[in-house]
Amino acid sequence: MRKSLLAVPVLLAVALISACSSTTTSTESSSAAATVEASAEPTVSAPAESAPADPQCGTTVEEIAAAAQAEGGLNLIALPDSWANYKGILQSFADNYGITPVVANPDASSADELTAIATLAGQPSKPDSVDIGPSFLEQFVNEGMSAQYQTTNWSEIPDNLKDPAGNWVGSYYGIMSIASNSTLVKNPPKSYADLLKPEYKGMVTLNGDPREAGAAFAAVVAASLANGGSYDDLTPGIEYFAELKKLGNLQTVDVTPAALLSGDVPIALDWTYNFPAIVPVMKEAGFDLNISIPTDGLYGGYYAQGIVSDTVHPCAARLWMEHITGNDGALGYITGGAVPARLGAMQAAGLITPELAKNLPTEEQLAQITFPTMEQVELLKAQLTEQWGPKVADA
């Protein structure tokens, strides 16, 4: 469903838990969100600010919106409609501010996004903002592609979901799940151990090459954690997929709505927020989609958003950051099955209804979310690069 080039979502957590994605009340989610902020290992520790780092477009959302409207446009990239309800979030931005974003190459990867920044430099179609995996953040920042900006709600975003200098913010996250077309898969798997069963021969779909695809990378890390690995050791996950391939259960294709609807993907490993939009469509086609959070490993991750330097629409890019971190964007993410960065603040303000809360992970799941350091992410990437070819891809 996109992010096809190593947009490695920063890892959330692992735990041997019972699979449950039942309704959670707003009170429960508020408590869990507080636990997340308290227990997650931060990747940054600088104190939060409450005002934009750069006032060139104004210091309030209203001022920024006026400046953005004067610019008259917004260039985005790699935001497919079905990913975390970006269709709804983009529409609410257009409705609120009268600016209709142009989304280039919706299914592009994180690597593609950074390539576009470089190749479109000085052109009117250059992206104003990106949505990339944390494994690309170092390149985004170090190569001077980012423009620093701290949103007006900066103090409500946990430190481990933002860069202290304002180069990026992780506005949403999700959990790696197993989705099964229960019309084709009569006994939907509920764990990584289940996926090794002979009945799933040729059915298990890894969403691309994990050396290139963020969701696939996440599945390998999740499988590693489920098999005794850690944020420092990806080998058990690589060996797990080597075994899955040897058994003939594994296929590696892009998990798209079309592939799910055609039946080409009976079992998909992908983010929880990629399925809500496709469920009713599959229902109309006569298919039921069963979604399980694996019982032998809970794992999730966020994508990071940032403003591109030397953009055509710098104020519109700032307004977009305000929107996706603000209440409208956050509610849009929840509608799509994603968890907004400002969940705790939203709960405290009473903005999450019981109906919306049904789309969130349970209190138990939220309470187990932690983040590895960026150093650990780089270590896992290096292990994958070294081992995936000889053990899986070329074996």
- Give the pLDDT mean for 67-96: 96
Give residue 153's identity as a one-letter amino acid code. N
pLDDT value at 357 more than 50: yes
| Residue with more model confidence, 175 or 13 | 175
User: What percentage of the chain exceeds 90 in pLDDT?
Assistant: 69
For the cut 50, the answer to whether the pLDDT of residue 365 exceeds it is yes
Strands 250-253 and 204-207: parallel
Considering only residues 24 and 139, tell me which one the structure prediction assigns the higher pLDDT.
139
Domain region containing 221:
10-23+175-299+374-393
Residue 94 confidence (pLDDT): 98
Same domain, 103 and 214: no
Say if residue 22's pLDDT is above 60: no
180 within a domain of the structure (yes/no) = yes
pLDDT for the residue 52: 55
- In terms of domains, do 141 and 230 share one? no
pLDDT band at 36 (very low <50, low <70, confident <90, very high): very low
Residue 125: which CATH number? 3.40.190.10
Distance of alpha carbon 325 from alpha carbon 6, whole angstroms: 24
Prediction pTM value: 0.81
Query: Does residue 116 share a domain with residue 94?
Result: yes
Tell me the H-state helices in 273-373.
Answer: 278-284, 314-325, 327-335, 343-348, 354-357, 363-367
Number of domains in the chain: 2
Same domain, 129 and 197: no
Whether residue 155 is found in the same domain as residue 242: no
Q: Is residue 2 part of a domain?
A: no
Residue 30 domain-assigned (yes or no): no
Sign of the dihedral defined by the CA atoms of residues 152, 309, 111, 97, in that order: positive
- 166 and 306: one domain? yes
Specify whether 127 is located in the same domain as 266. no
| pLDDT at residue 137, rounded to an integer | 87
Confidence of residue 370 (pLDDT cuts 50, 70, 90): confident
Do 242 and 328 lie in one domain? The reply is no
Q: Residue 357 falls within a domain, yes or no?
A: no
Looking at residue 366, what is its pLDDT?
84
The pLDDT assigned to 133 comes to 83
Do 183 and 289 share a domain, yes or no?
yes
* Per-residue model confidence (pLDDT) at position 55: 64
